[in-house]
Structure 1
Amino acid sequence: MILLPFQWLKDKKSKDGDALPFFHKWLWMVGLICTMIILWGSFSNIWIVPWWENFIYLFFAAVFGLVLTTFLYVTVDRYVEKMETRGA
């Protein structure tokens, strides 16, 4: 639910000739994770607590997005970008 839209975005930018920098990939990943948290919060009871206590979820999204984006960059994106520059 998170990785598929992320990959679609990267593929669209790649077809347009614009490679996303790491920071933009991280921002998109955080946005997707925040969207999932907001959707999950709509069906669960995380909105019962005072609103300022929900900022922990933004911190979680930022950290998890950084870890996941870094992992994907190290394992997949560098290889794919290297192959694209070679013309393969």
Structure 2
Amino acid sequence: MRRTYAHNVVVIGVLLGFLVAIKAGIILGIIVAVAVSIIGYKLIRAFENKVDDVADKAGDAISHAIYDKKKKRMERMGHRI
């Protein structure tokens, strides 16, 4: 399983909730803490998943390019793969 940094947004949500609770009220602070935590978690996970997909595709492309280059070199030398 990959490492995720999405859980850190819960701390940020709680801190923002405290700030809002001090400035505007406890109920609004709780709403902000929950909303920031949930929305931030979803956004970060979506970003991490997209980056992981792109990295997998890049790895596949590099692997295919290396294979094709090796295949062409072997064909020039008269070998079969």
TM-score by length of 1: 0.41
User: Who wins on radius of gyration, i.e. which is larger?
Assistant: 2
TM-score calculated relative to the size of structure 2? 0.44
Q: Which has the higher contact order (CA 8 A, sep 6+)?
A: 1
